[in-house]
Amino acid sequence: MLTGPFPTYRMSQGIQCPGPSISLSPFVTGGTSWATPQVKTTRVPVYSTADKDDNGEPDSPGKILYYSEIPRYEKHNHDLNIGITATLTVPLDGGLTARCKRAVETNIELQQQLLATKRLEYELFRAQQCGQLAESRVQFRPGSRYAQVCEAIVVYVPPKKVIPHVHAISAPSAGSSDVQK
């Protein structure tokens, strides 16, 4: 039986909510009883009921003629009790339980938002690092286990910025007609 506080459901951030409970307690009891000392017979006095003068009253009231022995059939008494007790315990302050459940829901939403924020921070950091690597013309070797880290990152050339590059320039030949002019 639950005689103390209700079962408490513990959540993160120290939130503890009392809840209803049911307690089932099966039991078996038994017992034996007997009388001691055990007497096998009972002696019962037999009184004189003689009425010689026929006046309706015994001549010797209270005179014990003999004792009659009556057998006693003593026996052991056994008992067996089987059962179950059930106790349903419910907090009386339903408002407290409702507020506690709201606090748990709020805490779950807060943790989900925190997780989403951490995921965004990770993705932004990854994009920044992969972009810097691409601008410096460094990349992971294709097929390595790290190559897929920057796989989804696309680097665009910002406006008014020229990416370092090389052009092949050919020099005109000396016998060309354009050179003599």
Q: Are 103 and 126 in contact (CB under 8 A)?
A: no
What is the DSSP code string of the chain?
Answer: ---SSPPEEE-GGG-EEE--EEEEEEEEEEEEE--SS--SEEEEEEE----TT-SSS-SSTT-EEEEEEEE-----EEEEEEEEEEEEE--S-HHHHHHHHHHHHHHHHHHHHHHHHHHHHHHHHHHHHHHHHHHTT--PPTTSTTGGGGTT----PPTT---------PPPPTT-HHHH-
For residue 85, the cross-strand partners are 25
Q: What does the pLDDT read at residue 2?
A: 47
Q: What does the pLDDT read at residue 181?
A: 47
Under the banding of pLDDT at 50, 70 and 90, the label for residue 76 is confident
Query: What confidence tens digit (pLDDT) does each residue in 19-64 have?
Result: 667 777 888 888 887 766 777 888 999 998 888 888 888 888 888 8
Percentage of the chain lying above the pLDDT 90 cut: 16
Q: What does the pLDDT read at residue 85?
A: 84
pTM over 0.85: no
Q: What does the pLDDT read at residue 179?
A: 47
Q: What does the pLDDT read at residue 116?
A: 97
- By DSSP bridging, strand 8-10 and strand 16-18 are antiparallel
The mean predicted confidence, pLDDT, of the chain is 80
Query: What confidence tens digit (pLDDT) does each residue in 119-160 have?
Result: 999 999 999 998 888 878 888 888 888 888 888 888 776 677
Q: What does the pLDDT read at residue 133?
A: 86
Per DSSP, the three-state class of 103 is helix
Q: How many angstroms from the chain centroid is the CA of residue 162?
A: 62
Q: With 80 as the cut, is the pLDDT of residue 4 above it?
A: no
Q: What does the pLDDT read at residue 49?
A: 87
